[in-house]
Structure 1
Amino acid sequence: MDTNDLSPAELRVWHAFPKGAAVDFRTTEDEDAADGADWGPERTVRAEVLRALLLNGPLEDGEIAALRLSGARISGALDLSYGVVDHALRLSDCHFEQAPVLYAARLRTLKLDGSVLPGLAAATVQVEGMVYLSGCRFHGLVRLGGARIDGALFLDGCRITPDPEDTEKWPALRLGHATIGDNLWAPGLRVDGEVRLSGASVAGAVTLDHARLSHPGDVALDAQTLTVGTDVHMRYAHVEGWIGLRGARVPGRLDLSYAELSHTGDMALRASSAVIGELWLRKSPPMEGALNLRRAQIDVLFLEPDVLPDEVLLNGLVYTTLTPHEPAQRRLPMLDRDGDGYLTHGYEQLTAAYLRTGDDEAARVVQLAKLRRHRRTLPWPGRLWGHLQEVTVGYGFRPLLACVWLLSLLAVGSVVYGLHHPRPLKADEAPDFHPVFFTLDLLLPVISFGQEGAFAPEGWYQTLSYAFVVAGWILATTVFAGVTRSISRGAGPGGNP
């Protein structure tokens, strides 16, 4: 490029480039790059000049060339598509008239922090170092799909506000299938529209603390099949729209503490088939929208009951530890809200979690709740039999109930028949009448003390004896069913408890 065609501002940048010197056009440190449209020619640099420098600029022996420019108005489109840039690229606090185009470019590093841009087209870009978009304000789409960034990606304090017509068709921030060799650092990120991280791979952590993602009625964060090396932090995040984490892999912590998630009438958080080390849902208002954890595998589920929405989907969820420790009565509503209906798996998981902490009583409460829920799905004979089992032996979890019933009936029979001895069938052969053993003969279906066959009550006393016989058979049957259930429940693989 002929330097005679350059403006004084451009000449200043041209001469600084070979030495890697910084050029700062800012008049004050707190000036706003959003006012850059009014900056005059004294701080305006054409994009074609920057392109010429980056691709074929002058070099000096012993110096490391770099483009370090602050506070400039960049006119025209900076198009580096398919280009190879061997120099550091820093355009901080600049005002871009057109969105830079970096499609499939190869860069050493990219720093646009604090700049105002109409958008960024950098799909499949390859960057050997870091990408700094901290504090940038984008008024259009940011496209980094398929990018390969060997270092970290900084989006802290970044604001992306595209035209609503564009966000109906395209993600506001596209990072799908991107590969990031370090952290994705984006606390305070604000996006109006979809953030797409589906299929992306982040070697470090993803940090979205205090982020505000707004796409009401649609997907706010699509991170399906996202793979991270450590954690995903979304503490104090405010999300309008649904979060998709189906099939994601988070070996560390997925932390949604203090987060506000809202997608009324639909799914607020979908983490089905995800594999997560720790999922933290705590210190937040109730989620507005359903929670989907179907088939997820979680080592530690930190779930406070007050965070749960009105509908959850838990079919196939597997977790090892459930914390904080809460009474079973606080946990059971989670299973009652399961949109998949009655499923034994959820109750078994909750029972196992209590057993691992040694809270056997809570585990029994969960099992009783499971049987009661199952009872509601049965036809009336099954429901009646279920009620009998619960009243008599508590479905096998309260065997002492059978003793209470037996002793109560024994006491009643002993008093009644003690006051009104039944007539002996054969007076000369009948043994001495004993009201206690006569009542036991009626109540116990198998054991015989020789009283029932020797005496014959009459009138309503005979009716009472029939009632004792029926009650005895019901008690025996329900006790047997309850004991069988207890043995089956307590046996592990190979029949060992």
Structure 2
Amino acid sequence: MSQTTDLTPPEERIWRAFPRGESVDFRAAENEDPALGDTWGAERTVRASVLRALLLKSPREDGEIPALKIKGARITGILDLKYATIDAAVRLSHCHFDGVPDMYGAQLRQLNLSKSVLPGLTSAALRVEGVLRMTGCRMRGPVRLGGVQITGALFMERTEFTAPDDSEPVLQLNQATIGDDLWAPEMRAHGQVRLTGASVAGRINLQDTEFIVPDGTALDAQNLNVGGHVRARCLRAQGRVELRGSRISGRLDLLHAHLSHPGDTALRASSCVIGELWLRRGDRIEGALNLRRSHIEILTLEPEMLPDQVFLSNLRYTVLAPHEPAERRLPMLERDGEPYDPHGYEQLMAAYRHVGDDDAARLVQLAKQRRRRTTLIWYGRLWGYVQDATVGYGFRPLRAAVWLLSLMAIGSIAYGLDHPRPVKADEAPDFNPVFYTLDLLLPIINFGQESAFAPAGWHQWLSYALIITGWILATTIVAGVTRTVSRQ
């Protein structure tokens, strides 16, 4: 029985409209729900095999541009366009599909499935010369678009992706090539979305999008390449957001985002190259944040969003915003679960120096020395405590002056109340408790007092204490000054 001679009335309407590119609308009302399409009668039911035959035969009329434009139809069977080359535009909006369309390896001029309900879509290696539009669709099974090539844009705003099980991603766009934008605000995905190795020449819009895989990877976008911005404001992700190895030339905008994957990694953007990363004004990240080995020109990061675990080893950035006191930035380095890594402190110090905040840079250097101290053997830690208490590892030089003045005051008072006896009474100069104390404290200065007088008893023990303290202070001051000069 020929499909072109045994057409039902709705199929005849479509067949007559196709050569002139006219639209056939079967809807009883504009706001009807295509999810109820399995209850629609024969008056709006179309066989997928008839649509296939129509697209392959592509009847034409002189002076007209053919196109398949259908609204509100129930399409039965499987629309099999595998490896087909279709020159006409295909628009099947507000439709209900009983079977999963198969467009593997097909070449289409344009495909529009807006606001339709489908049990899935098999279209890997599909080539679309114009725009692929799935706006407002409800996909009840896996959508396989791996390796798709779209010269224009891909539209998936307000699209819902679900699947009967979680054995595979609900949306596969791995290795896809999109010549313009990927537009998917308010998209809902109850299952994994895979964008691994995809290339988008324009922008990606994921504003108000929701990804839900509570115990796994919700968005797998490893090695994603984006020529413009990724707008993901108010994004909600239950499960890991995986961006490892991605390159985003513009801005990755995660303002007001909610990222949740407790007990595991919530956001991994390691080994990435990103122009700007915005993490601010959102909820506190539930799960670890991993930015290892990434290169980010401008990192906008609010301390309130940081989780308990942050991995920043070998992260490079030029600007860190907003400008915060060092005391608010240092905890993120202390939350790194890895062993002591000086690079994180050096990077933060460089960011403060970049904006001219030398005081904050010195605080970071001091924190770095204190963190390093925890990795040393016991006598190294002891010497570190001495340097910290006396001169703050060279970043608190006024402490040395305070120590010297305090010890000089103690010695001067003690020796002023009870003079030590002279070594040679007839040759000794007049005793001066201040300069005698300075002779004991400063090992490289000699006022002639120390050699002329010989303390005894508690005088002697005090002199030993002042001499030892003086050497410690002198050594720590030299080490601190040397460290400070070398940093400059």
Question: TM-score by structure 2 length?
Answer: 0.99
Q: Of 214, 217, 229, which aligns to 2:215? A: 217
Conserved 8 A contact 2:9-2:43 = yes
Query: Which secondary structure state, in structure 1, belongs to the residue aligned with residue 470 of structure 2?
Result: helix
Conserved 8 A contact 2:3-2:50 = no
Give the Cα–Cα distance (whole angstroms) in 2 for the partners of residues 344 and 141 of structure 1. Answer: 46
Q: Which residue of 2 aligns with 1:155?
A: 156
1:178: Cα distance to partner?
0.3
Q: Which residue of 1 aligns with 2:175?
A: 177
Q: Which residue of 1 aligns with 2:291?
A: 293
Give the Cα–Cα distance (whole angstroms) in 1 for the partners of residues 4 and 429 of structure 2. Answer: 131
Residues 116-164 of structure 1: CA deviation (Å, up to 9, x unaligned): 0000000000000000100000100000000000000000000011112
Give the Cα–Cα distance (whole angstroms) in 2 for the partners of residues 227 and 162 of structure 1. Answer: 27
Q: Which residue of 2 aligns with 1:494?
A: none
Give the counterpart letter for 1:387 in structure 2.
Y
**Any unmatched runs of 5+ in structure 1?**
491-497
Query: Which secondary structure state, in structure 1, belongs to the residue aligned with residue 275 of structure 2?
Result: strand
Give the Cα–Cα distance (whole angstroms) in 2 for the partners of residues 435 and 238 of structure 1. Answer: 73
1:280: Cα distance to partner?
0.4
Q: Which residue of 2 aligns with 1:307?
A: 305
Q: Which residue of 2 aligns with 1:388?
A: 386
Give the counterpart letter for 1:60 in structure 2.
E
Query: Which secondary structure state, in structure 2, belongs to the residue aligned with residue 156 of structure 1?
Result: coil
Q: Which residue of 2 aligns with 1:341?
A: 339
Q: Which residue of 2 aligns with 1:117?
A: 118
Q: Which residue of 1 aligns with 2:467?
A: 469
Q: Of 450, 454, 475, which aligns to 2:448? A: 450
**Any unmatched runs of 5+ in structure 2?**
none
1:379: Cα distance to partner?
2.1
- How many residue pairs get aligned? The number is 487
Q: Which residue of 1 aligns with 2:356?
A: 358
Give the Cα–Cα distance (whole angstroms) in 2 for the partners of residues 137 and 341 of structure 1. Answer: 48
Query: Which secondary structure state, in structure 1, belongs to the residue aligned with residue 446 of structure 2?
Result: coil
Q: Of 253, 256, 259, which aligns to 1:255? A: 253
Give runs of aligned pairs for residues 320-331 of structure 1, distance below 5 A: 320-331=318-329
Q: Which residue of 1 aligns with 2:102?
A: 101
Conserved 8 A contact 2:4-2:50 = no
1:391: Cα distance to partner?
1.2
Conserved 8 A contact 2:26-2:73 = yes
1:430: Cα distance to partner?
1.3
Give the Cα–Cα distance (whole angstroms) in 1 for the partners of residues 59 and 412 of structure 2. Answer: 114
Q: Of 211, 216, 229, which aligns to 1:231? A: 229
Most deviating of 53-62 and 219-228: 53-62
Give the counterpart letter for 1:233 in structure 2.
R
Query: Which secondary structure state, in structure 2, belongs to the residue aligned with residue 214 of structure 1?
Result: strand
- State whether structure 2 residue 214 is matched by structure 1 residue 189: no
Query: Which secondary structure state, in structure 1, belongs to the residue aligned with residue 85 of structure 2?
Result: coil
Q: CA RMSD in A?
A: 0.9
Give the counterpart letter for 1:107 in structure 2.
L
Conserved 8 A contact 2:275-2:297 = yes
Q: Alpha carbons of 1:2 and 1:375: their partners in 2 closer, same or farther (altered >3 Å)?
A: closer
Give the Cα–Cα distance (whole angstroms) in 2 for the partners of residues 251 and 16 of structure 1. Answer: 45
- State whether structure 2 residue 408 is matched by structure 1 residue 407: no
1:4: Cα distance to partner?
2.9
Q: Which residue of 1 aligns with 2:43?
A: 42
Q: Of 423, 429, 432, which aligns to 2:430? A: 432
Q: Which residue of 2 aligns with 1:495?
A: none
Q: Which residue of 1 aligns with 2:81?
A: 80
Q: Which residue of 1 aligns with 2:34?
A: 33
Give the counterpart letter for 1:483 in structure 2.
V
Conserved 8 A contact 2:104-2:122 = yes
1:345: Cα distance to partner?
0.6
- State whether structure 2 residue 378 is matched by structure 1 residue 377: no
1:420: Cα distance to partner?
1.1
Question: TM-score by structure 1 length?
Answer: 0.97
Q: Which residue of 2 aligns with 1:129?
A: 130
1:341: Cα distance to partner?
2.7
Q: Which residue of 2 aligns with 1:144?
A: 145
Question: Identity of counterpart residues, as a percentage?
Answer: 62
Give the Cα–Cα distance (whole angstroms) in 2 for the partners of residues 106 and 63 of structure 1. Answer: 21
Give the counterpart letter for 1:82 in structure 2.
Y
Give the Cα–Cα distance (whole angstroms) in 2 for the partners of residues 88 and 308 of structure 1. Answer: 48
Give the Cα–Cα distance (whole angstroms) in 2 for the partners of residues 455 and 259 of structure 1. Answer: 74
1:58: Cα distance to partner?
1.7
Give the Cα–Cα distance (whole angstroms) in 1 for the partners of residues 120 and 19 of structure 2. Answer: 29
Conserved 8 A contact 2:124-2:146 = yes
Query: Which secondary structure state, in structure 2, belongs to the residue aligned with residue 266 of structure 1?
Result: strand
Give the counterpart letter for 1:431 in structure 2.
P
Give the Cα–Cα distance (whole angstroms) in 2 for the partners of residues 326 and 376 of structure 1. Answer: 26
Give runs of aligned pairs for residues 415-426 of structure 1, distance below 5 A: 415-426=413-424
Give the counterpart letter for 2:154 in structure 1.
L
Q: Alpha carbons of 1:408 and 1:2: their partners in 2 closer, same or farther (altered >3 Å)?
A: closer
Q: Which residue of 2 aligns with 1:264?
A: 262
Q: Alpha carbons of 1:2 and 1:465: their partners in 2 closer, same or farther (altered >3 Å)?
A: closer
Give the counterpart letter for 2:190 in structure 1.
D
Q: Which residue of 2 aligns with 1:51?
A: 52
- State whether structure 2 residue 27 is matched by structure 1 residue 17: no
Conserved 8 A contact 2:19-2:59 = yes
Give the counterpart letter for 1:458 in structure 2.
A
1:411: Cα distance to partner?
1.4
Conserved 8 A contact 2:265-2:288 = yes
Query: Which secondary structure state, in structure 1, belongs to the residue aligned with residue 5 of structure 2?
Result: helix
Give the Cα–Cα distance (whole angstroms) in 1 for the partners of residues 58 and 194 of structure 2. Answer: 36
Give the counterpart letter for 1:285 in structure 2.
D
Residues 295-324 of structure 1: CA deviation (Å, up to 9, x unaligned): 000000000000011101100000000000
1:2: Cα distance to partner?
5.0
Give the counterpart letter for 1:436 in structure 2.
V
Query: Which secondary structure state, in structure 1, belongs to the residue aligned with residue 86 of structure 2?
Result: coil
